[in-house]
């Protein structure tokens, strides 16, 4: 059975929201570990996983292109800091 794009998107969004709703239970199980350490693991393992996907899909040229501009690098750095801060507050809030 072939699913159309709308059905695929709906299924993906339901799964994403379900996982997002269950994630605080996982963080709560880790309440003995400092939020900063959890965030560091998340950053490191996301980097390893995303890097592996980029290597496997042979898209490292796009990464080099994105980092070739100082403006783009600054924008990515700023968004990374904001996302990291958001996650740190979220993990800390669940554990507190």
35-56 helix and 70-95 helix, angle to the nearest 10 degrees: 140
pLDDT the model gives residue 11:
92
Of 32, 23, 17, give the one whose Cα is nearest residue 95: 32
pLDDT the model gives residue 28:
83
Report the alpha-carbon distance of residue 91 to residue 16 in Å, rounded: 18
Question: Would you write out the chain's pLDDT as a tens digit for each of its 96 residues?
Answer: 677 889 999 999 999 999 888 888 887 888 888 989 999 999 999 999 999 999 999 998 888 888 888 998 999 999 999 999 999 998 898 888
What is the rounded end-to-end Cα distance, in angstroms, of the chain?
46
């Amino acid at each position: 059975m072939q699913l159309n794009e709308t059905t695929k998107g709906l299924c993906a969004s339901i799964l994403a929201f379900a996982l997002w709703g269950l994630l605080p239970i996982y963080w709560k199980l880790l309440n003995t570990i400092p939020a900063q350490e959890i965030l560091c693991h998340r950053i490191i393992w996301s980097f390893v996983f995303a890097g592996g996907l980029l290597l496997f899909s042979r898209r490292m040229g796009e990464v080099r292109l994105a980092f070739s501009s100082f403006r783009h690098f600054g924008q990515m750095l700023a968004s990374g800091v904001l996302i990291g801060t958001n996650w740190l507050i979220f993990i800390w809030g669940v554990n507190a």
